[in-house]
Chain A
């Protein structure tokens, strides 16, 4: 099992560019979510999904889109990058009903210039 795989690990964007952060898990987890981590602010939820075809907004959804066409994949799209979106992005997944914790990906460090 690879767990939760995020790509790319690092990315530099110019203001106004768009891109997609990829997240894939091979554990057949129903729940998947995206977080951003900024210094001194912990992690904040961007979007989440409880299953294929179902997504919802988290605490900081503006400027981001998601879709969940399969159980395995949960890409995060930046529509028009802004410097305020410079952050580290983590994808996480969870098996519904489990007593285990979320599994986090290794993260994507994004810089918008």
Chain B
């Protein structure tokens, strides 16, 4: 059974600071996703990581994937209040169709 663990689950940080969210998963997988969710809203796709060593960046967010360590990171650079949201990583199991297993989510609060 595929398990996905995120840490931290709660993160409060000041504007301008840097931090990293970690996502560990238990078995090999084809791809890893990062999503953002604002309160009461749906999930917004941030990154799709397809191979070992993949790195993607969008604005103040950068995601990376190490398939050997079964680890993905979401790095936040110079945080701003607008980044406050819950961030989920999810791992896709293509062995039988396509099944996403989500981490518990990291609730990020960026304080002025």
Contact = CB atoms under 8 A, between A and B. Distances in A.
Contact of B97 (A50, A103, A104): A50
B42 A102 contact: no
B98 A33 contact: yes
Contacts, number: 59
Contacts of A106: 41-42
Main secondary structure of the interface of B (DSSP, over half): strand
A2 interface: no
Main secondary structure of the interface of A (DSSP, over half): strand
Interface residues of B, number: 22
Given A40-B104, A42-B88, A42-B102, A104 B96 contact: no
B110 interface: no
A35 B42 CA distance: 12
Interface stretch (A15-23, A69-77, A79-87, A93-101): A93-101
B48 A101 contact: yes
Interface of B: 4, 33, 35, 41-43, 45, 47-48, 50, 88, 90, 96-105
25 contacts: A31-B98, A35-B100, A35-B102, A42-B4, A42-B88, A42-B102, A42-B105, A43-B43, A44-B102, A45-B100, A48-B97, A49-B97, A50-B97, A54-B97, A56-B96, A90-B42, A92-B100, A96-B98, A99-B50, A101-B35, A101-B48, A102-B45, A106-B41, A106-B42, A107-B42
Interface of A: 31, 33, 35, 40-45, 48-50, 54, 56, 58-59, 90, 92, 94, 96, 99-107
